[in-house]
Amino acid sequence: KPETLKIGMTTFLTGPASVFGVPARDAMDIFVANLNAEGGINGVPIEVTYIDEGAGAEALTSEFRRVAQSGGAEIMLASISSGNCQTIAPLAEDLQVPNLMWDCGTQRIFEENEYDYVFRTQGNATSEMLAAVAYLLKTNPDFKTIAVVNQDYAWGRDSWDIFHTALEVMKPDVEVVGEFFPKFGSPDFSTEISRLQALRPDVILSTSWGGDLDTFVQQSFQRGLMNTSTFVLPLAESSLERLGPSLPAGHIVGARGDHYFLHPERRDDADFQSFMEQYKEATGDIPVYSVFHASQAFAAMQAAYEKAIADNGVDWPSEEQLLAAFEGLEFQGLGRPLYLREDNQGVESQLMGTSAQTGDYPFATLENIMIFDGDGLLPPIGETSIEWIKGLDASFVDTLQVETYDN
């Protein structure tokens, strides 16, 4: 039994993605402090080392390795960027250190390779996009045209691939009138907006995040584009507070999972409320989805250790015991409970809603919330997402399990 349980976590502390990375670290500090205050896991306190993903791939791999090997970390949480996930997953496998992919969206990881040491404690791009398609089809069944404005990098491209493929099979009559991939970090979308105003699509999809999403929505709002088209913004939960009044009512918002600071099923729970207060106190902000993802990874880790200890009746599990505990592990962070599939992929529910300016907050909140069960949103093990989606049809939406809430 170690004196402390050392864990390493990679997150963006610098660079544009620090809009996710820094809140996640702040949250992690709270989770760790809370657990340590209760005596840690089976009496073992936890100590986290953070690794900045913004420092570049060399620094990341060197640091990851240092923390995992000489730093004595028993378990690693990595990472946010999907490029980094691709680097880290095989490295963790070779180093034989259990690694929880806590905020890594690309569906490819487990579809293209098998891993023994790598687990994902959240859903993936497929479940996130399918939920957005399903919500759109349920709430807005009659739209005819769609345009997309995504960031020009893997996430923007992949997510549109999934969304588009799904739309083609579930609503073949929809016409894609414009596909824009402005460069990542673009400061200006005026041209795209002019073009969209001329095209007047019924629906505009953007899976952008951070400053790109903020700028796009703000500029669209200023120029009246939001009055003429319905926006589908699967990551906008993370921008709600910053967008303030610029996100008017009636647009579709997602959260990469069932993450929302007013989660209809969780908002009355004591642990949920107390965390929200702690977080608000520590940072002054409302938490965004990366905080929820951090909570899930943390919960998964805690659950795995506790399960391994209980299953084996030991003081502290060996690595094999710990790995065994991850098989089919069930855990719950700040959202609904999750579990790990056989391919180490997490099954996570997806929350979607429609923006509303109620006046309760100086920014948009959600109404007509739907929480989709994660099971139906992932391809069966062994199938790749795109192939699987190509085999679906319009009836897919009705097969999904969903709960609906007014707000």
Q: Which residues of 306-328 are buried (b: 16+ CB within 10 A; e: fewer)?
A: ebbbeebeeebbeeebbbbbbee
Q: Could you give the angle at the alpha carbon of 313 between the alpha carbons of 309 and 316, nearest 5°?
A: 45
Footprint of another protein on 90-109 (CB under 8 A): 90-91, 94-95, 106, 108
Task: Report if residue 378 touches another protein, rule: CB under 8 A.
Answer: no
**Which residues have C-beta within 8 Å of that of residue 105, sequence separation ≥ 6?**
82, 124, 125, 128, 155, 159, 256
Structure tokens at 25: 């670290």
Task: Report if residue 324 touches another protein, rule: CB under 8 A.
Answer: no
Task: Report if residue 55 touches another protein, rule: CB under 8 A.
Answer: yes
Task: Pick from 2, 224, 328, 391 the residue near another protein by CB under 8 A.
Answer: 224
Which lies closer to another protein via its Cβ, residue 239 or residue 345? 239
Task: Report if residue 214 touches another protein, rule: CB under 8 A.
Answer: yes
Task: Pick from 29, 36, 153, 278 the residue near another protein by CB under 8 A.
Answer: 153
Closest CB 240 distance from another protein, rounded Å: 12
End-to-end CA distance of the chain: 46
Task: Report if residue 50 touches another protein, rule: CB under 8 A.
Answer: yes
Task: Report if residue 114 touches another protein, rule: CB under 8 A.
Answer: no
Which lies closer to another protein via its Cβ, residue 241 or residue 367? 241
Task: Report if residue 394 touches another protein, rule: CB under 8 A.
Answer: no
The site for another protein, by CB under 8 A, has a size of: 75
Distance (Å, whole) CA 135 – CA 393: 15
CA 285 remoteness from chain centre: 18
Task: Report if residue 330 touches another protein, rule: CB under 8 A.
Answer: no
Q: Binding string, 18-47, against another protein, x = CB under 8 A?
A: xx-xx-------------------------
What are phi and psi for residue 7, nearest 5 degrees? -130, 155
Which lies closer to another protein via its Cβ, residue 186 or residue 350? 186
Which lies closer to another protein via its Cβ, residue 62 or residue 274? 62
Closest CB 159 distance from another protein, rounded Å: 12
- Sheet holding 346-347: strands in order across? 330-332, 337-340, 346-347
Task: Report if residue 390 touches another protein, rule: CB under 8 A.
Answer: no
For residues 393 and 170, is the Cβ–Cβ distance under 8 A? yes
Task: Pick from 190, 273, 274, 318 the residue near another protein by CB under 8 A.
Answer: 190
Task: Report if residue 215 touches another protein, rule: CB under 8 A.
Answer: yes
What is the pairing mode between strands 252-254 and 330-332?
unpaired
Task: Report if residue 357 touches another protein, rule: CB under 8 A.
Answer: no
Which lies closer to another protein via its Cβ, residue 45 or residue 83? 83
Task: Report if residue 219 touches another protein, rule: CB under 8 A.
Answer: yes
Task: Pick from 42, 145, 197, 278 the residue near another protein by CB under 8 A.
Answer: 197
Footprint of another protein on 279-318 (CB under 8 A): 285
Q: Could you give the angle at the alpha carbon of 85 between the alpha carbons of 82 and 89, nearest 5°?
A: 155
For residues 106 and 125, is the Cβ–Cβ distance under 8 A? yes
DSSP 53: G
Backbone torsion region of residue 284, taken as left when φ is above 0, otherwise alpha when ψ lies between -120 and 50, otherwise beta = left
What is the pairing mode between strands 203-205 and 145-149?
parallel
Distance (Å, whole) CA 120 – CA 114: 12
Q: Could you give the angle at the alpha carbon of 311 between the alpha carbons of 305 and 317, nearest 5°?
A: 45
Closest CB 270 distance from another protein, rounded Å: 28
Closest CB 230 distance from another protein, rounded Å: 18
Task: Report if residue 210 touches another protein, rule: CB under 8 A.
Answer: yes
**Which residues have C-beta within 8 Å of that of residue 248, sequence separation ≥ 6?**
221, 226, 227, 355, 357, 364
The span of 116-124, 213-221, 364-372, 377-385 binding another protein (CB under 8 A) equals 213-221
Q: Pseudo-torsion of CA 214, 218, 224, 226, nearest 10°?
A: 30
Which lies closer to another protein via its Cβ, residue 230 or residue 302? 230
Task: Pick from 175, 179, 271, 315 the residue near another protein by CB under 8 A.
Answer: 179
Task: Pick from 2, 39, 56, 391 the residue near another protein by CB under 8 A.
Answer: 56
Which lies closer to another protein via its Cβ, residue 153 or residue 405? 153
